[in-house]
């Protein structure tokens, strides 16, 4: 979909549909909505008076403007509810954009025009609204069409109608940033939605190589012999049960040639998690094709970063393998030696993400990357603790955790910090090795994070558990069913805000 910023009177725009809005419980339309209401001879006011249009968040009312001559340029006027004024924020704009785009696509609209929602009484800056509308529209219209014909035709063009022409350049910059970030998120969704018979560790490496070629990034892939040489016994241990060769992938973006420093983004790349010998129940096991959501997020975050060009260096590290049972598979009770020399007693082969990340963390520190951020669909316990709206964040450095939380909030990804109490480390003590890979029944997301911390020295590090948020079972706002692409936007926002030229991005 092409997104253009124009100035003009929304009522006069020639398009299949125009979109105006209403806050909950407003009795009289204001701003552009009032102008359209007037052009329609008070049709919107009468819908409000009839109690048909309430302005509840996400509610969409359609007015067909049949009859000639029409007083407005479009045949369809959509009135979207922005919800209660006191609950309003930028993320609500993303949400309504996703909703109205899907609703208008269902009505066969190919060209739509919208006002800058929330910039009047909502108090949102026009450029913030333009970026949010762009993100919400592109994310909300996403569908995975590789194996099935799409249900609806695409909306080809969206016009964002601004009031002042002086704002056009800054609004265009905002829609550009919004499209880059949303397209990267949708690319992550594509990779995650792919079935595991397609998205193998080798294909993940190919995808990274394609990205590197297209966006001029540095790319490396290590195979099992390289891993052997580097002493990555934990990653190799998980890979033993699979017929697919494991890969350790790196992608580097250099935006600051004068600096040796680089941030490290690590992503769990289990292309299928059957649990291994500690096999999972069959119900819902298909969802474990998405156990590489962390890997996809860090890879596509680099795509967005390469396009936005912040003055900063970033390297993504992706340990990738399947976790399958077989005659050669890792067994409960086996002991693995990780790259940092620590021995791990594997009590449960289904706690495999932390094993592959252990070696990836050691490798990231060997490269001197700092700070480190890892994204992983790590524990079912994190879904139990926080549900499907919040990712769990864990850190050894509060300053870094605060930066990540703030970046996430700015961009509308919900995260909640979890504690890492020393006392729980007891649970990871093994009789015969340095650590074991699982703790007790309770607090499993925390013991998983504490396990990872065994492989981080003094480097500031944040671990984000996205097990509950990486996949959605329902469509809502800019979230559609399937992979959400969670994490991409926060990583891009963090890299942009940490960059030297942050004003420019």
Rounded to whole angstroms, the Cα distance separating 256 from 312 reads: 5
| Binding pattern for the stretch 194-233 against ligand BES, x by CB under 6 A and - elsewhere | ----------------------------------------
Of 191, 299, 320, 195, the residue nearest 245 (C-alpha) = 320
Q: How far is the CB of 386 from ligand BES (least distance, A)?
A: 12
Query: DSSP assignment, residue 156?
Result: -
Rounded to whole angstroms, the Cα distance separating 95 from 463 reads: 27
Q: Which is nearer to Zn ion, 183 or 465 (CB)?
A: 465
16 binds ligand BES (CB under 6 A): no
Per CB under 5 A, the segment of 126-134, 226-234, 273-281, 329-337 that binds Zn ion is 273-281
Residues 379-398 that bind ligand BES (CB under 6 A): 379-381, 383
Per CB under 6 A, the segment of 38-46, 85-93, 349-357, 414-422 that binds ligand BES is 349-357
Rounded to whole angstroms, the Cα distance separating 426 from 468 reads: 26
The two three-digit tokens of residue 304, written as one number:
């967005």
Q: Are 181 and 135 in contact (CB under 8 A)?
A: yes
Q: Which is nearer to ligand BES, 291 or 413 (CB)?
A: 291
351 binds ligand BES (CB under 6 A): yes
Q: How far is the CB of 439 from ligand BES (least distance, A)?
A: 8
Q: Where are the alpha helices (DSSP H) in 444-487?
A: 444-453
Q: How far is the CB of 454 from ligand BES (least distance, A)?
A: 15
SS3 content of the chain, % helix, strand, coil (to 5): 40, 20, 40
Which option in ligand BES, Zn ion, none does residue 5 bind, with CB closer than 5 to 8 A by kind?
A: none
Rounded to whole angstroms, the Cα distance separating 307 from 185 reads: 13
Rounded to whole angstroms, the Cα distance separating 445 from 400 reads: 20
Q: How far is the CB of 273 from Zn ion (least distance, A)?
A: 4
Query: DSSP assignment, residue 27?
Result: S
The two three-digit tokens of residue 83, written as one number:
């919800």
Rounded to whole angstroms, the Cα distance separating 238 from 349 reads: 8
Exactly one of 99, 183, 190, 291 binds Zn ion (CB under 5 A); that residue is 291
Q: How far is the CB of 499 from ligand BES (least distance, A)?
A: 32
79: phi then psi, degrees, rounded to nearest 5: -110, 115
Residues 29-58 that bind ligand BES (CB under 6 A): none
Taking CB positions, which residue lies at the least distance from ligand BES?
380
Exactly one of 126, 371, 443, 444 binds ligand BES (CB under 6 A); that residue is 444
Q: Are 248 and 299 in contact (CB under 8 A)?
A: no
Which option in ligand BES, Zn ion, none does residue 182 bind, with CB closer than 5 to 8 A by kind?
A: none
Exactly one of 118, 237, 319, 353 binds Zn ion (CB under 5 A); that residue is 353
Local structure of 282: helix, strand or coil: coil
Q: Which is nearer to Zn ion, 34 or 347 (CB)?
A: 347
438 binds ligand BES (CB under 6 A): yes
Rounded to whole angstroms, the Cα distance separating 5 from 168 reads: 7
273 binds Zn ion (CB under 5 A): yes
Rounded to whole angstroms, the Cα distance separating 291 from 299 reads: 14
127 binds Zn ion (CB under 5 A): no
Which option in Zn ion, ligand BES, none does residue 381 bind, with CB closer than 5 to 8 A by kind?
A: ligand BES
Q: How far is the CB of 294 from ligand BES (least distance, A)?
A: 10
350 binds ligand BES (CB under 6 A): yes
Of 209, 202, 220, the residue nearest 320 (C-alpha) = 202
Q: How far is the CB of 351 from ligand BES (least distance, A)?
A: 4
- Angle at which helix 293-308 crosses helix 201-215, to 10 degrees, equals 0
The two three-digit tokens of residue 217, written as one number:
């990034």
Gyration radius of the chain's alpha carbons:
24
Q: How far is the CB of 400 from Zn ion (least distance, A)?
A: 25
Q: Which is nearer to ligand BES, 55 or 267 (CB)?
A: 267
350 binds Zn ion (CB under 5 A): yes
Q: How far is the CB of 480 from ligand BES (least distance, A)?
A: 18
Q: Are 11 and 39 in contact (CB under 8 A)?
A: yes
Q: Which is nearer to ligand BES, 135 or 194 (CB)?
A: 194
Residues 455-494 that bind ligand BES (CB under 6 A): 467
What's the first-to-final CA gap in the chain, in angstroms?
Answer: 23
Query: DSSP assignment, residue 244?
Result: S
HSE on the CB side for 403, CA within 13 Å?
19
Of 155, 162, 178, 175, the residue nearest 76 (C-alpha) = 155
352 binds ligand BES (CB under 6 A): yes
Per CB under 6 A, the segment of 207-215, 252-260, 375-383, 455-463 that binds ligand BES is 375-383
* Catalytic residue annotation: 280, 354
Of 327, 322, 315, 329, the residue nearest 247 (C-alpha) = 322
| Binding pattern for the stretch 270-299 against ligand BES, x by CB under 6 A and - elsewhere | ---x-----------------x--------
Residues near Zn ion, by CB under 5 A: 270, 273, 291, 350, 352-353
Residues near ligand BES, by CB under 6 A: 273, 291, 348, 350-353, 377-381, 383, 438, 444, 467
């Amino acid at each position: 979909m092409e997104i253009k910023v124009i100035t003009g009177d929304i009522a006069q725009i020639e398009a299949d549909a125009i979109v105006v809005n209403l806050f909950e419980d407003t009795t009289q339309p204001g701003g552009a909505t009032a102008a359209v209401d007037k052009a329609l001879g008070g049709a919107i006011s009468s819908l409000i008076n009839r109690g048909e249009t309430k302005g509840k968040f996400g509610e969409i009312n359609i007015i067909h403007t049949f009859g000639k001559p029409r007083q407005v340029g479009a045949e369809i006027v959509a009135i979207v509810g922005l919800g209660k004024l006191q609950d309003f924020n930028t993320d609500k704009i993303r949400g309504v954009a996703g909703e109205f785009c899907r609703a208008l696509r269902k009505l066969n609209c190919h060209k739509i025009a919208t006002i800058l929602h929330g910039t009047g009484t909502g108090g949102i800056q026009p450029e913030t609204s333009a970026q949010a509308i762009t993100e919400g529209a592109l994310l909300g219209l996403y569908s995975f069409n590789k194996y099935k014909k799409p249900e609806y035709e695409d909306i080809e063009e969206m016009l964002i109608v601004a009031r002042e022409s002086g704002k056009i350049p800054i609004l265009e910059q905002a829609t550009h940033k919004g499209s880059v970030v949303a397209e990267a998120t949708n690319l992550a969704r594509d990779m995650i939605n792919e079935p595991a018979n397609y998205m193998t560790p080798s294909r993940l490496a190919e995808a990274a190589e394609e990205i590197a070629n297209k966006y001029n990034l540095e790319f490396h892939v290590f195979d099992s012999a390289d891993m052997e040489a580097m002493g990555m016994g934990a990653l190799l241990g998980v890979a033993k049960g699979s017929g697919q060769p494991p890969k350790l992938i790196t992608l580097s973006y250099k935006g600051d040639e004068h600096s040796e420093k680089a941030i490290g983004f690590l992503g769990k790349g289990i292309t299928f998690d059957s649990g291994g010998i500690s096999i999972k129940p069959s119900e819902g096991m298909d969802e474990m094709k998405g156990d590489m959501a962390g890997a996809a997020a860090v890879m596509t975050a680099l795509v967005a970063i390469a396009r936005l060009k912040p003055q900063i260096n970033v390297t993504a590290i992706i340990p990738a393998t399947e976790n399958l049972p077989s005659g050669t598979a890792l067994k409960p009770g086996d002991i693995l030696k990780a790259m940092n020399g620590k021995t791990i007693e594997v009590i449960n082969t289904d706690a495999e993400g932390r094993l592959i990340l252990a070696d990836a963390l050691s490798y990231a520190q060997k490269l001197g990357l700092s700070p480190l951020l890892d994204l992983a669909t790590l524990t079912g316990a994190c879904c139990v603790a926080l549900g499907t709206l919040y990712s769990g964040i864990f850190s050894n450095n509060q300053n870094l955790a605060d930066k990540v939380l703030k970046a996430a909030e700015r961009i509308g990804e919900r995260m909640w910090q979890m504690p890492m109490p020393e006392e729980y480390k007891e649970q990871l003590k093994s009789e015969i090795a340095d650590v074991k890979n699982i703790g007790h029944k309770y607090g499993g997301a925390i013991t998983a994070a504490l396990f990872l911390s065994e492989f981080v020295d003094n480097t500031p590090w944040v671990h984000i558990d996205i097990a509950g948020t990486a996949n959605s079972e329902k469509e809502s706002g800019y979230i559609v069913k399937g992979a959400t692409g969670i994490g991409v936007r926060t990583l891009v926002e963090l890299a942009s805000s940490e960059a030297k030229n942050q004003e420019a991005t």
